[in-house]
């Protein structure tokens, strides 16, 4: 082929080797092989997915760190409850001794009352604003002193409040301290439920769920009133329906040593792995009321100590022992969750390393490779420049005199 | 029989031929670096011999003229390759500006999407915490901003390309006018049996510039080059240029019309104009369509979870994002079924308490947050999970840019080879011209020596006898 001018070829070669040099320099300075999607579209797309997985793992790790102290706090609260129950059993055994005087039994009853208060205080433990034994109702103390009568804030005589429709999405709950159960009415969107219907529903729930004698009605002042009609049975009523307004205990109707559970039966769960969720606490009803009823067993012991026979005190003490066993069982599952969280934490640590390694493999470049590439590109570039410098000035004119 | 005077006339022809050779060499050297210049050669021919009886005597040399050395085939290939190169470069330039939006950073959609899910997961550990709730709102707002930014960067790019169309068309019109003006001049030269020479070089160079703007087919006729676009829209016929026009169509974009006002936008391929139109009308709307679809489907998925839960006050959740209403579906499906979704997605809620974290209306519940988290792994209406949908968008942008880059590089290297090929035929070699210079110089010196020899012979002939007589 007839060659006329080598300048374009030399310029192209210089351009190519300079581009390679610049790419090699960028690799060394950023430590990345892929700096923009076009450098390696498939790796860039995979990086997006891998980074999302990393973000999840980071978040799971952070969730474990947040949940662990919650669980540990819950564990120590249960441990304190166990201690209180043991003390109650000791007190009960002491009280059951036929030689104890009535005065002594009264003072023992007072001690047990203190222990009950401690159990309630522990059950109302919160960690950074999260009530650990409230189930999903984690933003308020789950155990409240029970009263025999509750009334609504809102009232209407004409038209009667009973004709007013409840608001969709709202929940009204009656929690019974004696039965340890609660009765809820949730208004689903599209449902037409009036306050009157609510009254009928609550009345129908007694005595299956609520203590016998519990009735709901619209009272003379037009308020919704729920009453246990007993000085021994206490309830707590909550509602988030603006039609009723806040449900308030009528002053003076508090029932001694009775506490109602206003939390929910489902504990909150937190995701700590792609397919691992843990409950962040124990629902208080499960722990203290629904199984062997801890609160009523203590309440029973107090009553027995105050006015019962030695045999009754002994029976009540046995009930406390049963409750103690039950609480201890609950603690086992909590402890096993704490163990799971600890092992999950180290698994997540490994996972982070795996993902980081994957990301480096996708878009990174090892320093050694980058440095080698750079020196190769440098070498190549100087070769091209040297060759061009040698070849380009060569013309016949140099040799013509 | 030859005579001294006929020898002298042969020598004069030699001088002429050598002068012609020197002239063409001089011109070649002068234009060695002129773009589009084809080297010329002097056409020398033996003069018809004189027959005298049995003797046939040569009558010297005739300078027939000058001829440019061309290779039409390679010239055409260069034009075609230039079209591909400019088209790829136009797309590459635009894609390189789009790429940063889809490159993993602290602000891209993928990162913000992950951040939103992280903030929700974080809220699940302290569902009542207003700072954790605020964190979800902020993450939602950041994702909204990322969607808005990505959409804006695509539409801004589209607007830039749109104004490029007008510029390209006006350049095309200028070039076709110049090409048409050269046609009759070149046809005139050819009719008189001469080479188009310099004018042809100029025209070829103009056609090459035109090729950089759009694809052009060239048909050689007696009236000069007839040019049409790749699809047959006439650009130049004989001395008449056909101007293209631009008009803003109902889609808000500048469309290209031919002489008769027919819209030829979609038929224009190749060159800067073809690449620009391809990006503006196909590539960017395609990307925007996917981005809008992702924004709409992700937004709706989030909204329906939010509406299925209860906020901190126990009320049913409202929407999480605001989304522009989707127009009715069309058959076949529109490129962008949810126009403006990414550009206009916004936060519907602004109160941290409005996040519907609870599934049972209890204030501290977090049951619904698991449903939010599930959006991350559940397929959207498109069949992909949100992060997969985004990652395939990143793949597409990357692969479009990488393909455009590869094509640009490939055409550059093949253009280099084609130009080498053309130069091997038409290019000026300084070394070769230097030797030609010596050749013609020597020829001139020799012819001049012949003249002076004949002159001395004439002198001898004139003084024949006189000196002897004296």
B104 to chain A: closest CA residue: A48
Phi and psi at B129, nearest 5°, equal -70, 125
Identify the residue whose tokens are 């999840």. A56
pLDDT above 60 for B461:
yes
Identify the residue whose tokens are 């093949």. B414
Q: Residue A270 domain-assigned?
A: no
pLDDT confidence of residue B440: 95
Mean pLDDT confidence for B9-23: 93
Nearest to B365 among A51, A62, A137 (CB): A137
Q: What is the pLDDT of residues A180-226, one digit of tens each?
A: 888 888 888 788 889 889 899 998 887 888 888 889 989 888 889 99
A189 compared with A64, residue with greater pLDDT: A64
Check whether residue B65 and residue B81 sit in a common domain: no
Check whether residue B61 and residue B95 sit in a common domain: no
pLDDT above 50 for B81:
yes
pLDDT confidence of residue B191: 84
Mean pLDDT confidence for A128-139: 88
Q: Residue B423 domain-assigned?
A: no
**In whole angstroms, what is the distance from residue A98 CA to residue B261 CA?**
116
Q: Quick check: A59 and B117 CB within 8 A?
A: yes
First to last CA, chain A: 28
Q: Quick check: A49 and B122 CB within 8 A?
A: no
Q: Quick check: A48 and B121 CB within 8 A?
A: no
Identify the residue whose tokens are 């088209």. B87
For chain A, positions 303-332, list CB contacts with chain B under 8 A: none
Q: Residue A83 domain-assigned?
A: yes
- Residue B102 CB neighbour total at 10 angstroms: 29
B209-246 burial by CB neighbour count: b if 16+ within 10 A, else e? bbbbbbbbebeeeeebbbbbbbeebebbbeeebbebeb
CA distance A211 to chain B (A): 24
Check whether residue B20 and residue B129 sit in a common domain: no
Q: Residue A193 domain-assigned?
A: yes
Check whether residue B11 and residue B100 sit in a common domain: no
Check whether residue A158 and residue A231 sit in a common domain: yes
Chain B positions in Cβ-Cβ contact with residue A283 (cut-off 8 Å): none
Q: Can you say whether the dihedral through the CA atoms of A251, A257, A260, A266 is positive or negative?
A: positive
B469 compared with A316, residue with greater pLDDT: A316
Chain B positions in Cβ-Cβ contact with residue A268 (cut-off 8 Å): 124, 127, 364-367
pLDDT confidence of residue A182: 84
The alpha carbon of residue A303 and the mean position of all alpha carbons in its chain are separated, in whole angstroms, by 37
**In whole angstroms, what is the distance from residue B23 CA to residue B470 CA?**
49
pLDDT above 80 for A266:
yes
Per-residue pLDDT band for B470 (boundaries 50, 70, 90) equals: very low
Q: Residue B225 domain-assigned?
A: yes
Check whether residue B65 and residue B206 sit in a common domain: no
Q: Residue B351 domain-assigned?
A: yes
Phi-psi region of A186 (alpha: psi -120 to 50; beta: other; left: phi over 0): beta
Q: Residue B420 domain-assigned?
A: no
What range does the domain containing B108 cover? 77-415
Q: Which of A280-294, B183-197, B373-387 has maximum average pLDDT? A: B373-387
Identify the residue whose tokens are 């021994």. A232
Local structure of residue B259 (DSSP, 8 states): T
Nearest to A264 among B362, B377, B428 (CB): B362
pLDDT confidence of residue A98: 75
Check whether residue A346 and residue A285 sit in a common domain: yes
Q: Quick check: B110 and A45 CB within 8 A?
A: no
Cβ atoms of B200 and B220 closer than 8 Å: no
Enclosing H/E stretch for A340: helix A310-363
pLDDT above 80 for A292:
no
Nearest to B363 among A42, A137, A271 (CB): A137
Q: What is the pLDDT of residues B272-320, one digit of tens each?
A: 999 999 999 999 999 999 999 999 999 999 999 999 998 888 888 899 9
pLDDT confidence of residue B312: 86
Cβ atoms of B40 and B20 closer than 8 Å: no
Check whether residue A66 and residue A132 sit in a common domain: yes
Q: Quick check: A171 and B388 CB within 8 A?
A: no
Check whether residue B51 and residue B161 sit in a common domain: no
The CATH number of residue A355's host domain is 1.20.1330.10
Nearest Cα neighbor of B204 from B187, B194, B215, B218 is: B218
Q: What is the pLDDT of residues B120-156, one digit of tens each?
A: 999 999 888 889 999 999 999 999 999 999 999 999 9
Any chain B CB within 8 A of the CB of A379? no
DSSP B6-61: HHHHHHHHHHHHHHHHHHHHHHHHHTTTSTT---EEEEEEEPPPEEETTEEE---E
3-class SS of residue B390? helix
**In whole angstroms, what is the distance from residue B219 CA to residue B354 CA?**
71
Any chain B CB within 8 A of the CB of A55? yes
In residues, how long is chain A? 401
Phi and psi at B230, nearest 5°, equal -55, -30
Check whether residue A252 and residue A147 sit in a common domain: yes
CA distance A58 to chain B (A): 8
Q: Residue B422 domain-assigned?
A: no
What's the structural domain count of chain A? Answer: 3
Q: Residue B118 domain-assigned?
A: yes
What is the number of H-type helices and E-type strands within chain B? 12, 12
pLDDT confidence of residue B469: 42
Q: Residue A272 domain-assigned?
A: no
Check whether residue A284 and residue A252 sit in a common domain: no
The alpha carbon of residue B171 and the mean position of all alpha carbons in its chain are separated, in whole angstroms, by 14
Q: Quick check: A130 and B113 CB within 8 A?
A: no
- Residue B383 CB neighbour total at 10 angstroms: 8
Q: Residue A36 domain-assigned?
A: no
Chain B positions in Cβ-Cβ contact with residue A129 (cut-off 8 Å): 126, 128-129
pLDDT above 80 for B331:
no
**In whole angstroms, what is the distance from residue A307 CA to residue A263 CA?**
32
Take residue A178 and report the two structure tokens written for it: 């004696």
Check whether residue B361 and residue B447 sit in a common domain: no
Check whether residue B302 and residue B434 sit in a common domain: no
Check whether residue A148 and residue A242 sit in a common domain: yes
pLDDT confidence of residue B123: 93
Q: Quick check: B394 and A48 CB within 8 A?
A: yes
Cβ atoms of A30 and A373 closer than 8 Å: no
**Helices B72-98 and B271-278: crossing angle, nearest 10°?**
30
Cβ atoms of A284 and A142 closer than 8 Å: yes
What's the structural domain count of chain B? Answer: 2
Q: Residue A268 domain-assigned?
A: no
Three-state secondary structure readout of A153-183:
EEECCCCCHHHCECCCCCEEEEEECCCCCEE
Residues with Cβ within 8 Å of residue A117, at least 6 apart in sequence: none
Rounded to the nearest 5 percent, the helix, strand and coil shares of chain B are: 60, 10, 25
Check whether residue A22 and residue A50 sit in a common domain: no
Any chain B CB within 8 A of the CB of A56? yes
Q: Can you say whether the dihedral through the CA atoms of B451, B453, B456, B461 is positive or negative?
A: negative
Cβ atoms of A278 and A340 closer than 8 Å: yes
Apex A168 CA angle, A164 and A171, nearest 5: 90
pLDDT above 70 for B468:
no
Q: What is the dihedral of CA B4, B6, B9, B14, to 10 degrees?
A: -90
**In whole angstroms, what is the distance from residue B180 CA to residue B295 CA?**
51
Residues with Cβ within 8 Å of residue B83, at least 6 apart in sequence: B211, B212, B214, B215, B216, B270, B271, B274
Chain A positions in Cβ-Cβ contact with residue B112 (cut-off 8 Å): none
Identify the residue whose tokens are 């201890």. A328
pLDDT, averaged across chain B? 90
B100 to chain A: closest CA residue: A36
CA distance B266 to chain A (A): 27
Check whether residue B43 and residue B133 sit in a common domain: no
Nearest to B125 among A4, A63, A395 (CB): A63
Q: What is the pLDDT of residues B205-264, one digit of tens each?
A: 999 999 999 999 888 888 888 888 888 888 999 889 999 999 998 888 999 998 888 888
Check whether residue B443 and residue B343 sit in a common domain: no
CA distance A370 to chain B (A): 21
CA distance B421 to chain A (A): 8
Q: Residue A39 domain-assigned?
A: no
For chain A, positions 221-260, list CB contacts with chain B under 8 A: 240
CA distance A234 to chain B (A): 22
A71 to chain B: closest CA residue: B125
**In whole angstroms, what is the distance from residue A263 CA to residue A255 CA?**
19
Check whether residue A244 and residue A323 sit in a common domain: no
pLDDT confidence of residue B467: 58
Phi-psi region of A8 (alpha: psi -120 to 50; beta: other; left: phi over 0): alpha
pLDDT confidence of residue A287: 85
Take residue B175 and report the two structure tokens written for it: 């070039």
Q: Residue A269 domain-assigned?
A: no
What range does the domain containing A255 cover? 143-262
Chain B positions in Cβ-Cβ contact with residue A41 (cut-off 8 Å): 394-399, 402
pLDDT confidence of residue B4: 84
pLDDT above 80 for B194:
no
Check whether residue A117 and residue A154 sit in a common domain: no
pLDDT, averaged across chain A? 89
Check whether residue A15 and residue A113 sit in a common domain: no
The alpha carbon of residue B73 and the mean position of all alpha carbons in its chain are separated, in whole angstroms, by 21
Nearest Cα neighbor of B187 from B175, B174, B200, B178 is: B200
In residues, how long is chain B? 470
Check whether residue B305 and residue B446 sit in a common domain: no
Identify the residue whose tokens are 């206009």. B344
Check whether residue B152 and residue B209 sit in a common domain: yes
Phi-psi region of A362 (alpha: psi -120 to 50; beta: other; left: phi over 0): alpha
């Amino acid at each position: 082929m007839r060659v006329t001018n080598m300048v374009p070829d030399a310029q192209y070669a210089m351009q190519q080797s300079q581009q390679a040099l610049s790419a090699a320099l960028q690799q060394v300075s950023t430590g990345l092989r892929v700096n923009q999607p076009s450098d390696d579209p498939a790796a860039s797309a995979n990086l997006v997915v891998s980074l999302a997985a990393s973000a999840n793992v980071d978040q799971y790790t952070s969730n474990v760190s947040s949940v662990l102290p919650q669980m540990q706090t819950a564990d120590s609260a249960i441990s304190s409850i166990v201690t209180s129950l043991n003390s109650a059993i000791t007190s009960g055994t002491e009280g059951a001794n036929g030689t104890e005087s009535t005065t002594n039994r009264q003072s023992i009853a007072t001690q047990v009352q203190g222990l009950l208060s401690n159990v309630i205080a522990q059950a109302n433990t919160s960690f950074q604003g999260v009530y650990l034994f409230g189930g999903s109702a984690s933003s308020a103390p789950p155990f409240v002193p029970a009263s025999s009568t509750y009334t609504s804030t809102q009232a209407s005589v004409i038209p009667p409040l009973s004709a007013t429709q409840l608001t969709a999405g709202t929940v009204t709950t009656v929690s019974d301290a004696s039965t340890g159960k609660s009765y809820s009415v949730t208004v689903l969107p599209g449902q037409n439920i009036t306050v009157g219907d609510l009254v009928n529903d609550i009345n129908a729930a007694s005595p299956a769920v609520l203590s016998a004698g519990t009735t709901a009605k619209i009272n003379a002042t037009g308020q919704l009133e729920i009453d246990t009609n007993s000085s021994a049975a206490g309830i707590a009523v909550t509602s988030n329906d603006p039609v009723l307004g806040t449900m308030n205990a009528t002053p003076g109707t508090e029932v001694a040593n009775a506490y109602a559970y206003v939390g929910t039966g489902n504990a909150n769960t937190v995701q700590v792995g792609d397919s691992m969720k843990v409950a962040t606490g124990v629902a208080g009803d499960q722990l203290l009321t629904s199984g062997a009823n801890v609160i009523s067993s203590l309440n029973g012991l107090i009553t027995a100590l105050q006015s019962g026979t030695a045999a009754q005190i002994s029976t009540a003490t046995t009930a406390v022992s049963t409750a103690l066993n039950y609480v201890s069982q609950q603690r086992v599952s909590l402890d096993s969750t704490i163990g799971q969280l600890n092992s999950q934490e180290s698994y997540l640590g490994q996972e982070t390393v795996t993902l980081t390694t994957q990301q480096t493999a996708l878009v990174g470049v090892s320093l050694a490779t980058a440095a080698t590439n750079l020196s190769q590109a440098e070498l190549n570039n100087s070769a091209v420049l040297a060759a061009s410098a040698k070849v380009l000035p060569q013309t016949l004119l140099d040799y013509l005199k | 029989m030859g005579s001294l005077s006929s020898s002298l006339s042969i020598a004069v022809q030699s001088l002429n031929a050598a002068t012609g050779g020197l002239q063409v060499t001089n011109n070649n050297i002068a234009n060695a670096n002129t773009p589009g210049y084809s080297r010329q050669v002097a056409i020398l021919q033996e003069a018809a011999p004189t027959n005298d009886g049995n003797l046939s005597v040569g009558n010297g040399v005739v300078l027939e003229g000058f001829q440019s050395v061309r290779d039409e085939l390679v010239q055409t290939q260069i034009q075609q390759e230039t079209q591909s190169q400019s088209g790829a470069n136009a797309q590459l330039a635009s894609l390189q500006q789009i790429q940063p939006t889809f490159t993993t950073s602290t602000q891209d959609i993928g990162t913000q999407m992950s951040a939103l899910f992280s903030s929700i997961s974080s809220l699940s550990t302290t569902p009542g915490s207003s700072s954790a709730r605020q964190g979800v709102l902020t993450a939602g707002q950041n994702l909204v901003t990322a969607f808005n930014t990505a959409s804006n960067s695509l539409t801004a790019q589209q607007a830039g390309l749109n104004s490029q169309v007008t510029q390209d068309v006006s350049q095309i019109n200028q070039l076709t006018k110049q090409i048409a003006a050269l046609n009759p001049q070149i046809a005139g030269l050819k009719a008189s049996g001469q080479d188009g020479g310099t004018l042809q070089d100029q025209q070829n160079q103009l056609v090459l510039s035109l090729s950089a703007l759009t694809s052009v087919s060239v048909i050689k006729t007696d009236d000069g080059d007839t040019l049409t676009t790749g699809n047959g829209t006439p650009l130049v016929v004989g001395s008449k240029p056909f101007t293209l026009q631009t008009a803003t169509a109902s889609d808000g974009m500048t469309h290209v019309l031919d002489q008769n006002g027919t819209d030829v936008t979609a038929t224009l391929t190749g060159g800067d104009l073809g690449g620009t139109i391809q990006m503006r009308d196909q590539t960017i709307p395609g990307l925007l369509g996917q981005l809008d679809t992702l924004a709409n489907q992700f937004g709706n998925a989030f909204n329906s979870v939010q509406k299925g839960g209860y906020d901190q006050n126990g009320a049913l959740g409202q929407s999480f994002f605001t989304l522009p209403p989707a127009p009715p579906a069309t058959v076949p499906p529109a490129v962008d079924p949810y126009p403006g979704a990414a550009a206009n997605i916004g936060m519907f809620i602004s109160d941290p308490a409005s996040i519907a974290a609870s599934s049972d209306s209890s204030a501290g519940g977090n049951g619904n947050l698991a449903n939010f988290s599930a959006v991350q792994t559940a397929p959207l209406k498109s069949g992909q999970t949100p992060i997969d949908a985004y990652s395939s968008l990143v793949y597409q942008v990357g692969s479009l840019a990488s393909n455009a880059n590869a094509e640009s590089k490939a055409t550059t290297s093949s253009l280099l080879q084609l130009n080498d090929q053309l130069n091997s035929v038409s290019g000026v070699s300084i070394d070769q011209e230097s030797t030609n210079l010596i050749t013609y110089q020597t020829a001139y010196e020799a012819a001049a020596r012949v003249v002076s020899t004949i002159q001395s012979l004439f002198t001898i002939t004139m003084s024949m006898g006189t000196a002897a007589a004296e």
